[in-house]
Amino acid sequence: MMDNLPLYEAKITDLSEGVYAIALVDYPAVESNFMAFKSEKKPLMYSVQNEEQHVIFGVLMRADWPIYRVGNSGYEYYIIYSKDTVRQMAQKMLSDGAQNSFNAMHNLANPIPGIECFQLFLKDVEKGVNPAGFEDIEDGSLFGAFKVNNIEAWQAIKDGTFKGFSIEGYFTVDEAKQIENKQSKNQKNTMSKLKNALRKLLAEFGEVETNKGILSYEGELEVGVEVTIDGEAAADGEYEAEDKIIVVADGKVAEIREKEAPAEETEAPAEEQENEEEAPAEDKPVEEVVEEVVEEQTRDLAAEIDALKAEIELLKEQIAELVGAPVDPPVEEQFEAVKGKKDKKSKIEQRMAYLRK
């Protein structure tokens, strides 16, 4: 997990750089423990049955693996060693003789004599160099096998005080160029696919407001299409929309017909018109009119929000089925409409406050 921390690359740029010692530690930064071997070469974790052969084996440095670090000022970051740098590291260790220089817990004042390297190699799956038990370690990583002649160190290894290796050395850190590891790329690709799937779902689903609620459907609204209200199959009956009447049977659209145009109102007799004109209209206070408008808008907004929430929950379930795990992606398109209505309500309330002054 990268935790959004910066990632830097360590390099060997001249002969003065490279590994100068190996520490036995309780928690290896490469997050891989070494194995202790019995005389019959069967690998076990932290234990042996035969005291004659004291051999430890494990990862000295993982290639292309982000290692968490904290600087003296508390600055947190990750550092990575490429396959090429790890190869250079192995060559320098053998050239300088650093493969036999050990200490405890990175304490140079506490050296551990009597540990000798008899095997140092790079993992290369293509060439068949893939040690058992370390299949998940990255290709190009550096491994080592060591004979432990120091009795105290061997006892500390057996009782679990030491669990792995940690190298010490000088490297050039490329701070100017932050690089992106495979895990981060995979996470971004997954999120991109998820967002595309969500956009596709939103594009394929439609809805229409009726006198009995909001009918939701997939694809085009036509005869035979399944329709729902609040995630449940719509009940049988007629649903009156703004310009059409939708007939539902067995949860599906059975018929769609256009609404008839309303009949034109006949002109009232002249005498009635005169009476209507003479009857004085009873004006309502401005504040009362504004309050009625606000209440009506608030009711409409609450109904639309409830419908949207139900639609979002349905979408989440369908997305979870697509990706095989619960997700909670943003639904920007859905909430833009709600935000617009909230802004409208706010303007009405501001207008009412102004009229009350």
pLDDT of residue 347: 56
Cα 75 from Cα 5, distance rounded (Å)? 10
Residues 200-215 pLDDT 10s: 554 456 788 899 889 8
User: What pLDDT band is residue 249 in, cutting at 50, 70 and 90?
Assistant: very high
> Using 50, 70 and 90 to split pLDDT, how confident is the model at 159?
confident
Q: Decide if pLDDT at 351 tops 90.
A: no
Hey, is 293 helix, strand or coil? Answer: helix
Distance CA 192, CA 67 (A): 26
pLDDT tens digits for range 23-68: 888 877 665 555 544 333 333 223 333 456 889 888 899 999 888 8
Q: What is the mean pLDDT of residues 229-234?
A: 87
The yes-or-no verdict on residue 334 having pLDDT over 50 is: no
Do 327 and 316 touch, CB atoms closer than 8 A? yes
pTM of the predicted model as reported, rounded to 2 decimal places: 0.47
pLDDT > 70? residue 4: yes
Q: Looking at 1-15, 114-128, 196-210, 248-262, which range is the least confident one?
A: 196-210
φ, ψ for residue 138 (rounded to 5)? -65, 145
Mean pLDDT of the chain: 75
pLDDT of 340: 54
300's CB contacts (< 8 A; 6+ apart) are 341
Q: What is the residue-wise DSSP string for 82-149?
A: -HHHHHHHHHHHHHHTGGG-EEETTEEEEE--SEEEEEEEE-BGGGTB--TT-TTSPTT-EEEEEEE-
Q: What is the DSSP string of 204-231?
A: HEEEEEETTEEEEEESS--TT-BEEETT
Given this model, what pLDDT does residue 30 score?
61
Q: How confident is the model at residue 331 (pLDDT cuts 50, 70, 90)?
A: very low
